[in-house]
Amino acid sequence: MPIIDWANFTPINSLLGGVCIGLAATIMFMANGRIMGISGILGDIISFKEKDQISWRIVFVLGVLMGPFVYLLMFQDFKSEMVADTTLLIQAGLLVGLGTSIGSGCTSGHGICGISRLSIRSTVATFIFVISGIATVYFIGGKP
């Protein structure tokens, strides 16, 4: 029987965080007409795709690294509890990298940007990775 975890429910923060992510995607699209997909941007950097486009990609990555620092400056701390040990982190990382490159996108590229431009492919992809994630957590047992 599903139980909602009200103690950790943060709809307002999550919604406002989503709004920031949406604004970031909008700003990027307005600036250079690119989809803000992190797996794509990282993959393009490491595979040297479109060499003349590497600077904005690196600058964006640096910005993402700075984002949590800005948050820390404003709100002192945030919660981040790892759920995997080293072995599992390696396995999960490999799967995320393989999956997002073969599937052409991740939560940001398909889930936010793709659905927002009403892409059927992205909607299907998002549905599949969410269901697959739910099934995985179901089988490994989730948080006690």
User: Minimum distance from CB of 56 to other proteins (Å)?
Assistant: 5
d(CA 14, CA 58): 27
Range 102-131, binding other proteins (CB under 8 A): 102-104, 106-108, 110-117, 119-121, 124-126, 128-131
d(CA 20, CA 74): 15
d(CA 35, CA 38): 9
Of the candidates 127, 103, 101, which has an alpha carbon nearest to the alpha carbon of residue 49?
A: 101
Q: Which contacts of 56-59 are long-range, i.e. CB under 8 A and separated by 24 or more positions?
A: 56/32
The number of residues that bind other proteins (CB under 8 A) is 111
Nearer CB in complex with other proteins: 3/51? 3
- Using the rule CB under 8 A, is 142 a contact of other proteins? yes
Site string for other proteins, 6-25 (x = CB under 8 A): --xxxxxxxxxxxxxxxxxx
Asked if 79 and 85 touch (Cβ cutoff 8 Å), the reply is: no
- Using the rule CB under 8 A, is 76 a contact of other proteins? no
d(CA 133, CA 144): 17
- Using the rule CB under 8 A, is 68 a contact of other proteins? yes
Nearer CB in complex with other proteins: 51/93? 93
Binds other proteins (CB under 8 A): choice among 51, 52, 54, 60:
60
- Using the rule CB under 8 A, is 51 a contact of other proteins? no
- Using the rule CB under 8 A, is 63 a contact of other proteins? yes
- Using the rule CB under 8 A, is 54 a contact of other proteins? no
Phi, psi of 100 (to 5 degrees): -75, -30
